[in-house]
Structure 1
Amino acid sequence: MNQNDLLNITYANVDTARVEMDRLLKSRQRNYSLPRPLYNDPHMFRIDMEEIFQKEWLFVGMTSEVPKKGDYFTVEIGQNPVLILRDGDGQVRAFHNTCRHRGSRLCSAERGKVANLVCPYHQWTYDLKGNLLFAGTDMGTTFDKSQHGLNKAHCKTAGGFVFVCLGDEEPEGDFDDFLLTLEEYMEPYDMENTKLAVESSMYEQANWKLVIENNRECYHCNGNHPELLNTLLEWDDTHDPRADEAFLAHYERQSKEWDAESIPHEHKSFGVRNRIVRMPLKEGTEVMTIDGSKGCNKLMGRIKNRHLGSMRILHLPNSWNHMQSDHVIVFRVLPISAQETLVTTKWFVHKDAVEGVDYDVAKLRQVWDATNEQDKRLGEENQRGINSVAYQPGPYSETYEFGVINFLDWYSDKLQENLARISTSEG
């Protein structure tokens, strides 16, 4: 717990915080930012983790990060280590990365390859489906290995994306409908035949909701993101109320090219949580590089048109993404503490592309490295201001910041829904 967390403890325990959190959410003024404790109180952060990040579907990575049998990567969701691997049947699975003997983490590396999963503590050994194979002879003759397999996490994949849910049950909703559309819209990219070109991780001293809020609007872009605006059009989607006639005409021209290549582009939304929309970039640019020129010689999948724009994929609570003609960029947000968030950015290219020949890592990274650092500064200054005793919720623009309003509506509704379930079960 850092110093700011200690200064901001205002509730005796997490149960008291749950009651107060529910009250704050019920009484919040819609279209305004949240009350201060929801951005900086450690007890309320714990509730966020328990009721959002331990119960909802989360984006964790891409299937091409585990291309072959035994390939794995790990991720930390709060205090929950999770292991993503591909088994011998080619299925991507998710397990809680904790041994069924004494609870030690099985895999400590960020990524690797194994024949079986062997706990480094006492060498308990599991196969790639999580079954316990070996526990030694000292467990006695009555020990039943079949009852001590790895604990699974819910895992679903679509279009190369991997999502996990740590809850006992899968959350209700239209997530499967979103996955079907995601599979359709990602088909042209053939993500199974891509590779991770490079990734970066950034620790931002700000609450995770401030990170998402910053992403959900471009009101701040003109004053802060010169590199990004070399190619990005500020409109959030084709329904953006600010979109002018010139943009709509540009979109119409581009969409005809996409239709000719059978590239899906119609706006698809699933509530305010999940959304897919293909947007053109600025005229004369191909992808989100510093000058708008190609990022990789090899195009993705079956794509032939370099002017594919950016297919933007939103998944609340923790991901936004940009799918382009010759490389894709995915973003993952994971909370660390009430005022600290890990933002991971990954760039993927065709699996046959050769670094230094077909693509230059520095060129791929330049725009989003700059943008991430700029957003980090903005988020941290936002957090510092919110920590002030003088802070009070302020109004959002319904024109420029409707994406933020949508996010906070989803967050507030989902949290109250999950808190109500707890009250019902305890009652």
Structure 2
Amino acid sequence: MEKHVLNTMEDPLAAARESTVEMLQTRKRTFSLPQPFYNDARLFALDMQEIFEKEWLFAGMTCEIPTKGNFMTLDVGDNPIVIVRGGEGTIHAFHNVCRHRGSRLCTKDKGKVAKLVCPYHQWTYELDGRLLFAGSDMGSDFNLDQFGLKPVHVRTAGGFIFINLSDEPPAMDEFLETLEHYLEPYQMDNVKVATESSIVEQANWKLVIENNRECYHCNGAHPELLNSLQEFDDTDDPRATPAYKALVARKQADWDREQVPYQLQRFGQRNRMTRTPMLDGIVSMTMDGKPGCDKLMGRLPNADMGSLRILHLPNSWNHFMGDHAIVFRVLPLGPQKTLVTTKWLVHKDAAEGVDYDPDQLRRVWDATNDQDRQLAEENQRGINSKAYQPGPYSETYEFGVIDFVDWYATRMLENLEYDTPSLQLAQG
């Protein structure tokens, strides 16, 4: 008892860790998670520590910081982060925390600077994180070299920026190499953000991801999206129709001739990418299915390129088409609050009002995001009830949700330093 009390005092989440492990080890695998995973503050704190502070996160696009001195910021829970383009095009990521008294350095979402200067006492850092100036009042023995910014691991591929806040990030080289290959036709050095939106959903981040990983709800909720989107993206899907399989075969022959990759690639349950046709005769996720931007992306020969779908758990899904791309980032704000940011990308030379209309470009996903927000929030309200108990997923329609929850459960247990081969997940 004394040891347990001592551990709890040293780690306020010790009891929550023990109960989380027990719930994950005894859960029914094809059922939704127990209630605390969706609304408990202590379990949310564990999510932030064991998932969002240990896994690779999608942070933004390289095109958002195109030249030296451009920066962007984001918050991973209580951790403010700054990503900056340094000399020779190198991208750096740091904890956005001054080494003097801890003030945030960069207070805007994005901008451009010559140096990183703390607004509190003007400590000044080079773009590579070295402390350059701390005033003359620190004493003659003060060593600038000991107070550089604390770095954050950062990797880039295919125009994507990923960050990791842990000391020893998991490997992701194979995924990054494949991502680079699949996005080569889009020439990601030549894109820009045409428009973006951020919405706050009053729902746990896992409900936001679960909602994205299935289209079971699409017929009843997303009329705008279903003007263009196929409900499935794999010919092995048991719901795939003969017409869809014939369309896939025809389009894949076109993509072979055009040397554009399309094969389904999986990297465990964390990452997935595949190119799939949209509805026959539809070329883009717009209200009329026609191109939303007249200037095509990269070296793509025409707008009819289907959608390259890219999944990165725990916080991103994406659609790349011939005329534009849409990238999504999820960041938890609280046990029942999640920030979803959407960015629409076009060729960097596309002219607003000439080649594209931002309002037309975003209409489908503005509607879809709002519909998904309502669904997730109603899901959260029901889960908060004392009547809630885990319910069964459809293994046909919701296999993507099952994959996500399996990934989450496995990573939580591994990151909590339990030996995964010994774990016995109850089969539901």
Please give the range of the TM-score, normalised by the shorter of the 2 chains: over 0.9
Given that 1:285 and 1:292 are in contact with CA atoms closer than 8 Å, whether structure 2 keeps it comes out as yes
Superposition deviation, residue 211 in structure 1: 0.2
Aligned partners of 1:137, 1:241: CA distance in 2, in Å? 71
Q: How does 1:21-420 map to 2 (within 5 A)?
A: 21-171=20-170, 173=171, 175-420=172-417
Q: Which moved more, 1:140-149 or 1:398-407?
A: 140-149
Instruction: Measure, in 1, the Cα distance between the counterparts of 2:242 and 2:235.
Output: 11
CA contact (8 A) 1:280 1:309 kept: yes
Partner of 1:5: none
SS of residue in 2 equivalent to 1:413 = helix
For 1:62 and 1:192, the matched residues in 2 are separated by 10
Instruction: Tell me by how many angstroms 1:91 deviates.
Output: 1.1
The one-letter code of the counterpart of 1:115 is A
| C-alpha distance 236-391 of structure 1, shift in aligned 2 (>3 A) | farther
Contact 1:205–1:341 (8 Å) recurs in 2: yes
- The DSSP-based 3-state class of the residue aligned with 1:277 is strand
Deviation at residue 238 of structure 1 after TM alignment: 3.4
Q: Distance in 1 between matches of 2:346 and 2:230?
A: 23
Aligned equivalents of 1:415, 1:238: Cα separation in 2: 32
Q: Give 1:239 deviation, angstroms.
A: 3.0
Percent of paired sites with the same residue: 62
Superposed displacement of residue 308, structure 1:
0.2
- Counterpart residue type for residue 259 of structure 2: S
Q: 1: distance between equivalents of 2:24 and 2:121?
A: 47
Displacement of 1:231 after TM fit?
Answer: 0.3
Give the alignment's Cα RMSD to 1 decimal: 1.3
SS of the residue aligned with 2:416?
A: helix
Cα separation, 2, equivalents of 1:240 and 1:207: 28
* Residue identity matched to 1:226: P
Q: What is the rounded CA distance, in whole Å, between the counterparts of 1:163 and 1:239 in structure 2?
A: 31
- List per-residue Cα deviations over 1:361-403 (Å, max 9, x = no partner): 0111100000000000000000000000010000000000000
Whether contact under 8 Å (1:238, 1:267) holds in the other structure is no
CA separation in 1, counterparts of 2:25 and 2:115?
Answer: 49
What letter matches 2:180 in structure 1?
A: E
- Letter of the 1:101 partner, please give it: H
Task: Give the drift of 1:420.
Answer: 2.0
User: Per the alignment, in what secondary structure is the counterpart of residue 407 of structure 2?
Assistant: helix
SS, match of residue 263 in structure 2: coil
How far, CA to CA, are the matches of 1:238 and 1:188 in structure 2? 24
Distance 1:238 1:72 in 2: 42
User: Amino acid of the residue matched to residue 67 of structure 1?
Assistant: P
Q: Which amino acid is 2:130 matched to? A: N
In 2, Cα distance between equivalents of 1:303 and 1:91: 27
Deviation at 1:38, TM superposition (A): 0.6
Query: How many Å apart are 1:13 and its aligned residue?
Result: 4.5
Shift of 1:161: 0.3
8 Å CA contact 1:286–1:292 kept in 2: the answer is yes
**Conserved? CA contact 2:233–2:274, under 8 Å:** no
Letter in 2 for 1:48: D
TM-score, structure 1 as length reference: 0.95
Measure, in 1, the Cα distance between the counterparts of 2:315 and 2:142: 41
Further displaced range: 252-261 or 403-412: 252-261
Q: Distance in 2 between matches of 1:294 and 1:338?
A: 39
Corresponding residue for residue 13 of structure 2: 14
Q: Distance in 1 between matches of 2:401 and 2:418?
A: 26
2:87 aligned counterpart, secondary structure: coil
Q: 1:9-38 CA distances to partner (integer Å, 9 max, x unpaired)? A: xxx942211111111000000000000001
Residues 285 and 307 of structure 1 are in contact (CA less than 8 Å); yes or no, is this contact kept in structure 2?
yes
For the Cα contact (< 8 Å) 1:276–1:313, is it kept in 2? Answer: yes
- Where 2:88 maps in the other structure, the secondary structure is coil
Secondary structure at 2:417 match in 1: helix
C-alpha deviation, 1:221, in angstroms: 0.1
For residues 89 and 95 of structure 1, the distance between their equivalents in structure 2, rounded to whole angstroms, comes to: 18
How many matched pairs?
410
Instruction: Find the residue that maps to 2:237 and give its secondary structure.
Output: coil
Question: How far, CA to CA, are the matches of 1:256 and 1:287 in structure 2?
Answer: 19
**Residues 238, 279 of structure 1: 8 Å contact kept:** no
**Alignment partners' CA distance in 1, 2:327 and 2:92:** 20
Q: Which runs of 5+ in 1 are unaligned?
A: 1-11, 423-427
Per-residue CA deviation, residues 208-242 of structure 1 (Å, 9 max, x unaligned), is: 00000000000000000000000000014333221
SS at 1:385 equivalent: helix
SS across alignment from 1:89: helix
Runs (4 or more) in structure 1 with deviation over 4 Å come to: none
**What letter matches 2:398 in structure 1?**
E
Q: C-alpha displacement at 1:192, in angstroms? A: 1.3
